[in-house]
Structure formats: structure tokens, C-alpha cells
Amino acid sequence: MLRKLILIIVFLSPLFSFSQDSKAPNIIMMIGDGMGLSQISSGMYSNNNYTSLERSQHVGLIKTHSFDNLVTDSAASGTAMSSGVKTYNRVVGMDENFIPVKSILEISRDKGYMTAIIATSTIVHATPASYYSKVKSRYDYNEIASQLSKSNINFFVGGGEKYFNDRRDKRNLMNEMDDYSFANSLENFIEINSNKIGFLTNYDDPIGKHEGRKPSLEDMVQATIKKLTSFNKPFFLLVEGSQIDWGGHDNDSEHVISEMLEFDRTVGKVFNFAEKDKNTTVVITADHETGGLSIVDGNLEDSKVIIKYVSEDHTATMVPIFSLGPYSSLFNGIYDNTEIFDKLEAIIIK
């Protein structure tokens, strides 16, 4: 019902007329894992009181609870956002009856979109996995990698090489994926001329930004956007700033803020692209808040914040959603994370 309603709005509203007769819009979905309002505020105050998110055209709030728990995990919230259903914590790409559901990436792929995923965790971690795999346990990384190998995603960038070439079942997925080229550096990724490239940045989890992680998220995203735009097709790109969450779990403010700032710089680059392109919808949100982070003191002169945490886990507070570009006004309001899927689907299948 809701989906139909959004479709009707998209068709009828004169607000959207600027794009009615042009080609289907590109979609860039950006998820800051664990990025609540206090994480954003901490990054902002640590950056001369500025965040690139200020350039957003529309802002809303998202309810994050899962099917079985007020406090969601990244698998259930990832599935809600990618596929429009509430499910159990730890379940990826399946509804509450364990029926596999199609993700917005898969829908766009089947509509002729180019597709790409970039994460600062392993590429098989719950958030990116929610866009291409269907498993009862988010921790079944070998199976998730196997499903990625058959997903036909054009470009994927993230850690976790061991789930492809050092597996329990002794298969080497990188050999099996003979239509893909695999890059061993960002320079190599940039110079490979192929419509299917995997760039496994690390054997296991990438290290934290505060520990010197390279290449930067903004460089990986810009290189991928350049590839995506070289085809005469629309594209769907998922970008995850994965480790804002990890800093929250560890109550490690240096980790949280450095990840937040990298994500924010990437938002700035994505907005630069979208503003120039004029046919790209950018949606930025979080899957949940992590740490119950609170800013209790600090000062603007030194860009300094004093932070306290009430938890080493996720919390159930609403998270903000930011948008820019065609149809971005659809993302105004207060609504469930599942509706992010509904709105994106309406844009893609119109």
C-alpha cells in the first residue's frame, strides 16, 4: 500500500518534473554504521564546527528497531534498509519467515543499473552483505562470500580476502570468478579496464583510520564513481563507513571521530559529484547508534569534545537521514528504516 502511494506521488508530483523525461537517476546510498546524532556532532565539533552533511537538501529521522528486538543489530537493520522487511537480529536478506527478499541493489541491477559496494570492514560484513546475500547467520562469512561471487555486482571494494581464497571448503572463489579482475592496490583498481572488478583491500578486517588505514574511503569512492560513470547506464552505489560502530563498541572516541571525519569527507566528495551530475540521488543514514555516546563537555576554540558512553552495544535511539538530488524530498519525515527501501524502489522502478 505504502509502496503504491509513493509510486503515485513520484508519478504525479510536479515537484519531480525536473527529472520526468530524463534518464533514471543514479543512487548513492551511504551508511555510517553506528552513526547516531552524537557521533555526527562529535565529528562536527572536532572539525571546526562543520560537517559536509550541512549541504544536504532534506533531513529526516529513522526508527531502527528490528523484528524481534528494540535494539537492532546491523544485519536486521541492513536488511530493513536494503530490502524493506523487518527481520531478526543476525539474519541477512530474509524476512521473519526466513523467506529470501530481493534487495534494492539486486532490483536496480535487474533494471540495467551498474552496481558497486564499498566498505571499510570486510566486504562480507553484515551491512554490505545485506545488499547481496541471504543467510540465517551474518557470521556465515564463507557462504556470504560465495553468494557475492555469484551476485554480478560490477565493483566491490573492502576487506576479507580470506573468505575468497583461504576458505574452509578449500574453494578459491577468485579463481572461480573468471569474469572478474582482481585489483591489488587502488592504483591497480583505477587502471584495470573492466566492468567487473573486485578489490579486496585486506586479508581480514581493515585496520582503523586512527591506525593509518589506506587507501582512504573518499579515494576509493571517487575512483569507483569514475568507473561507474564511464558506462552509459545509471548506477547504484552503496558506501559504508563501517568502523564508526567499532569505535562505539570499544568506547574509543579517537576511533569514532577519525572514522566519522573520513565518512564526512567522503560525503563532501559525493555531494560534489551529485551537485555537478544533477541526476544522482544521495541518501545518507545509519543502521543504528552505538555506545549511547553523549557529548558532556568540550570547546569550539580547540575543536575538542569530551565524550561519555552508556553502553558497549547498540542503542534504540532514532538516527538521522540526509538526502540530496532528485526525489530527495521523499526522505523527509519520521519513518521506519524499511521505508528507505520503499522510497528507493519507487525511484528506480518508476
Q: Just list the catalytic residues.
A: 74
DSSP class of residue 280 equals E
Kindly state the cell numbers that stand for 275. 551537485
In residues, how long is the chain?
350
Which of Zn ion, Mg ion, none lies near 252, with the C-beta cut-off 5 to 8 A by kind?
Answer: none
Q: What are phi and psi of 182, to 5 degrees?
A: -110, 130
Which of Zn ion, Mg ion, none lies near 77, with the C-beta cut-off 5 to 8 A by kind?
Answer: none
The least distance separating Mg ion from the CB of residue 287, rounded to whole angstroms, comes to 7
* SS3 assignment, position 202: coil
**Closest residue to Mg ion in the complex (CB):** 127
Cβ atoms < 10 Å from Cβ of 134 = 21
The least distance separating Mg ion from the CB of residue 286, rounded to whole angstroms, comes to 10
| Residue count, binding to Zn ion (CB under 5 A) | 1
Of residues 97, 103, 190, the one with CA closest to residue 136: 97
Which of Zn ion, Mg ion, none lies near 127, with the C-beta cut-off 5 to 8 A by kind?
Answer: Mg ion
Output helix, strand, coil percentages for the chain, rounded to the nearest 5: 40, 20, 40
From the list 24-32, 110-118, 241-249, 295-303, the region that binds Zn ion by CB under 5 A is 241-249
From the list 17-25, 124-132, 180-188, 239-247, the region that binds Zn ion by CB under 5 A is 239-247
* SS3 assignment, position 336: strand
From the list 128-136, 175-183, 186-194, 243-251, the region that binds Zn ion by CB under 5 A is 243-251
Residue where the block lists cell 592504483: 187
The least distance separating Zn ion from the CB of residue 287, rounded to whole angstroms, comes to 8
Q: For 87-149, give the DSSP string.
A: --TT-BSB-TT--B---HHHHHHHTT-EEEEEEEEETTSHHHHTTT--BS-TT-HHHHHHHHH
Q: List CB contacts of 276: < 8 A, sequence separation 6 or more.
A: none
Which of Mg ion, Zn ion, none lies near 251, with the C-beta cut-off 5 to 8 A by kind?
Answer: none
Strands (E), the chain: 26-32, 58-63, 114-122, 155-159, 181-183, 197-200, 235-241, 280-286, 289-290, 294-299, 304-308, 314-315, 319-324, 333-336
From the list 54-62, 85-93, 167-175, 237-245, the region that binds Zn ion by CB under 5 A is 237-245
- Single out the residue of 106, 161, 245, 264 in contact with Zn ion (rule: CB under 5 A): 245
**77 vs 154 by CB, closer to Zn ion:** 77
CA atoms within 13 A on the CB side of 24: 20
- CA 270 – CA 221 distance, rounded (Å): 8
**124 vs 223 by CB, closer to Mg ion:** 124
Write out the residues near Mg ion by the rule CB under 5 A. Answer: 33, 74, 127, 242
**31 vs 173 by CB, closer to Zn ion:** 31
From the list 42-50, 91-99, 138-146, 240-248, the region that binds Zn ion by CB under 5 A is 240-248
The least distance separating Zn ion from the CB of residue 269, rounded to whole angstroms, comes to 25
**24 vs 124 by CB, closer to Mg ion:** 124
Peptide bond before residue 234 is cis, with ω within 30 degrees of 0: no
**103 vs 127 by CB, closer to Zn ion:** 127
The least distance separating Zn ion from the CB of residue 126, rounded to whole angstroms, comes to 9
**166 vs 312 by CB, closer to Zn ion:** 312
The least distance separating Mg ion from the CB of residue 33, rounded to whole angstroms, comes to 4
**Closest residue to Zn ion in the complex (CB):** 245
Under the rule (CB under 5 A), what is the footprint of Zn ion? 245
